[in-house]
Amino acid sequence: MLKKTCLNFLISLVLFELAYAKSNSGTKHVFLGAGALAHQFEKVTKDRSGSVDKVGVTYTIVGLSGRLSLGKGFYFNPAGSYTILGRKSQDDATSVSLLTTTLFFTKNILFLDFKAGPGVLFQIMSGKSMGGVVRSNGNTNSTFMRPSYSSVSRVLTINAGIGVLFGKYVRMDLDGILAGATSLRRTYSGLAQVSFGFL
């Protein structure tokens, strides 16, 4: 299910750009890149003492983005990224992957893209069903069963960032991601990526 969702999104993005992209002084319209995603700043504990990791959980990502001119220096930039390696739990019982999708609206000034837009963050958790595990549960220990299935959660995001264009073929993006903006459990994440234009 996850692979199909990712593949469908990426294919749709490429087809969209191929069908509707307009020429812009020879600048490329579809970019493929790689980078890092820092997920949930100051929300994740890093050891049993409960100390918080300021950076959160870091992932390696691959990303695909498009750039469609709307005229007068404005662009529509659909973008997506996927954590290809995921993140395994300490006991190797579960694996978590993330898929980000964003519809950026961008204003270009010289070589800088200022962008913002809505998105959806998908968190995919896969389990291996390795029996139960004993964990602390207040003053006592309890046995918690490990999942044997995969689940997908979705949350709306507000994304904003800046892109730097290096000629026609290379760009670097720094994005901020606010998930659950109206919730008391809102989280902040950050993404950095270098991309190369190929269409």
Written in H, E and C, the secondary structure of 66-93 is ECEEEECCEEEEEEEEECCCCEECCCCC
User: For residues 191 and 37, what is the distance between their CA atoms, to the nearest angstrom?
Assistant: 4
Residues in the chain: 199
Q: Are 3 and 35 in contact (CB under 8 A)?
A: no
Q: Does the structure show a pLDDT above 80 at 86?
A: no
More confident residue, 136 or 37: 37
User: For residues 65 and 43, what is the distance between their CA atoms, to the nearest angstrom?
Assistant: 28
More confident residue, 115 or 127: 115
User: For residues 35 and 7, what is the distance between their CA atoms, to the nearest angstrom?
Assistant: 19
What mean pLDDT is predicted for residues 30-48? 79
pLDDT for the residue 184: 79
Question: Which domains can be identified in the chain, with CATH numbers?
Answer: 2-197 (2.40.160.20)
Tokens for 3? 């692979």
Q: Which residues have C-beta within 8 Å of that of residue 178, sequence separation ≥ 6? A: 157, 158, 159, 186, 187, 188
Closest to 12 (Cα-Cα) out of 36, 33, 30: 30
Q: Are 115 and 105 in contact (CB under 8 A)?
A: yes
Cα distance from N-terminal residue to C-terminal residue, the chain: 28
Q: How much of the chain exceeds pLDDT 90, in percent?
A: 37
User: For residues 157 and 80, what is the distance between their CA atoms, to the nearest angstrom?
Assistant: 13
pLDDT band at 119 (very low <50, low <70, confident <90, very high): very high
User: For residues 63 and 146, what is the distance between their CA atoms, to the nearest angstrom?
Assistant: 31
pLDDT for the residue 23: 46
What mean pLDDT is predicted for residues 42-64? 74
What is the reported pTM?
Answer: 0.78
Q: Does the structure show a pLDDT above 70 at 43?
A: no
pLDDT band at 108 (very low <50, low <70, confident <90, very high): very high
